[in-house]
Amino acid sequence: MRRDVFQALADPNRRAIIGLLANRRLTIKAVAEHFPISRPAVSRHVKILTECGLVVVHRKGRERFCEARLDKLNGVTNWIEQQQKTWEGRLDRLDEYLSELRSAG
């Protein structure tokens, strides 16, 4: 199942995992040490992040190393920028309308 990046980022634990992996590769065990949830729960979160392409897991011997793929966040960034422009335009028009109302009153 291919998951959506927005779905993956909706969970605070997954956002924290991405933040943890942003600058370094870590084993699942090392990631789990940063959270008050079980190691299997962290593994499930990593699996979801892997399914949407935000994390890649490499095997080295018995260890599984997790690495963030931050380039996959570009779609999120583009969407946020689009939403910001839309809402800034709407708020600017509202501000103009309220100024007109104050001037007319």
- CA atoms of 66 and 26, how far apart (whole Å): 5
Residue-level pLDDT at 1 = 58
Residue-level pLDDT at 2 = 66
Condensed to tens digits (0 to 9), the pLDDT of residues 2-26 reads: 678 888 899 999 999 999 999 999 9
Residue-level pLDDT at 22 = 94
For 37, phi and psi rounded to 5 degrees? -110, 165
Residue-level pLDDT at 94 = 96
- Percent of the chain at pLDDT > 70 equals 98
Residue 85: pLDDT over 80: yes
User: CATH number for the domain including 69?
Assistant: 1.10.10.10
Cβ-contact 54, 8 below 8 angstroms: yes
Residue with tokens 């593994």: 43
Q: How many domains would you assign to the chain?
A: 1
Residue 76: pLDDT over 90: no
Region 20-33: what's the mean pLDDT? 95
Which domain range does residue 18 map to? 5-104
